[in-house]
Amino acid sequence: MLQVVQAYDRAPITEIETDDEAALERKLQAAQQIFANRDAWLKPHQRIAILRKLAGLMEARRDHFAMQIAREGGKPLPDAIVETNRAIDGVHNAADELRNLAGREIPMGLSAAADGRWAFTTKEPIGIVAAISAFNHPLNLIVHQVAPAIATGCPVIVKPAGTTPLSCLDFVKLVHEAGLPEAWCQSFVPAETALAEKLATDPRIAFLSFIGSAKVGWYLHSKLAPGARSALEHGGVAPAIVDKSARLDAIIEPLVKGGYYHAGQVCVSTQRIYVHDSIVNDFTERLVARVKSLRTGDPTLKDTEVGPLITPKEADRVASWIDEAVKGGAKLLTGGRRLSETTLEPAVLVDPAPEARISREEIFGPAVAIYRFRELDDAIARANSLPVSFQSSIFAQDIDVALRAANRLEASAVMINDPTSFRVDWMPFAGRRVSGYGTGGIPYTMHDMTQDKMILLKRP
């Protein structure tokens, strides 16, 4: 049995049964059998109808999902409501995208050998999908992995994070209630971590969707069966550059949201802020004032802005990184104090050493670091100096500065006057270098979960 607790106060929520190796084999066999039977494949209009009904069922349980996200994951209730709304919209997005998922004509007759032929491609589901998810968006991440599989006709076995399984299990129940036969979408809560690896690397798996640590993701990627595809979504140490032309009264709020949303437990959370020397003092004063006013505490309360970290161990780690930075010469201007077993006051550090962990590794906690610069290209070089690369920001009113930074920042997306954490669910979302492999976003995932088949007709 797995005990699920509230992130904030560690109070028990419930216990759930776990799956052993025999259960995994049953689930893999069920997925394999239904996919092998082409007569059992659901037509696109049937999949659309299931997804539409699923979205309606989720809508009816919106408040339940939001509170559950707040309890098991520790995300403040207002943000949990936003996550639930995004998840519902994501299911609609997968259904909508089926209208655009199509093959194309391949030109023939361009050479004598190709004359008298007609060719076109069709889209087919790639096969069984293994989806391994993370705790920080316990409903919306599941939707990003499962809804594309349903839409494209791939059987999917989804493993939620062990700390936040309840939203996933409830979602899968609604998938079945919406009319999808069980073998097409199965949850998997392993009794031991090794079984997650066994799922991901099984030769029957055609596609691995992994959201989590780079160490685990790249390891699983190296163990995939021949021919299996993967999409890996890891973390970054997201940089934001604040030019001297930036409007300070307009940028503090988005930067605070970018750095402290879900207590910094977001893969594109703003962590490093490079501020022009001429405005750094004014900027720092304003940022610290706003961070001090953040309402930190119980995530189930409607006015909470920053909740807990997912476990006491994570709170210990983040606190130790802050302490290390201070011992290495950084100034701690606010925060860092332990408020509960899992909750830390949001912290602002100034000028940590380059070798400090907060300067080079993803803290995944409520802390940001400020660094000063004089030349834009120096700030860009420092922002690009790490092996991780995901989303970045440039805050500037000078269009030349904004476009120069956007052109030179090593990132999959550069936000101009928006935080690094900005995302809508239909845009491409991808880590570069160590930060990931492939492209997320529902339409892009649907493309990856299909494969082209060319059909050629020789005319009489």
Which among 72, 83, 97, 233 is annotated as catalytic?
A: 233
Query: Annotated catalytic, 185?
Result: no
Specify whether the CB–CB gap between 213 and 234 falls below 8 A.
yes
pLDDT in tens, 111-138: 999 999 999 999 999 999 999 999 999 9
In 57-175, beta strands by DSSP E: 105-106, 117-125, 128-132, 156-159
Report pLDDT digits (tens) over 427-455.
Answer: 999 999 999 999 999 999 999 999 999 99
pLDDT, average across residues 296-305: 97
CA distance linking residue 20 with residue 235, whole number of Å? 30
Q: How confident is the model at residue 460 (pLDDT cuts 50, 70, 90)?
A: confident
Question: What average pLDDT is seen over the chain?
Answer: 97
**Sequential DSSP letters for 167-181:** HHHHHHHHHHHTT--
Q: Using CA atoms, how far apart are residues 313 and 315, in angstroms rounded to an integer?
A: 5
Phi/psi at 88 (5° precision): -65, -45
List the structure tokens of 380: 């860009």
Residue-level pLDDT at 175: 98
- 246-275 mean pLDDT: 97
Does the active-site annotation cover 314? no
> What percent of the chain lies above the pLDDT cut of 70?
100
User: How many CB atoms within 10 Å of residue 86?
Assistant: 18
**Alpha-carbon dihedral 117, 122, 126, 129, rounded to 10 degrees:** 180
Catalytic residue among 267, 305, 314, 362: 267
The candidate with the shortest Cα–Cα distance to 172, out of 145, 182, 164, is 182
By three-state DSSP, how is residue 144 classified? Answer: helix
pLDDT at 322: 98
pLDDT band at 325 (very low <50, low <70, confident <90, very high): very high
Question: What is the pLDDT, as a whole number, of residue 173?
Answer: 98
The model's pLDDT over 166-202, given as tens digits with 9 standing for 90+, comes to 999 999 999 999 999 999 999 999 988 999 999 999 9
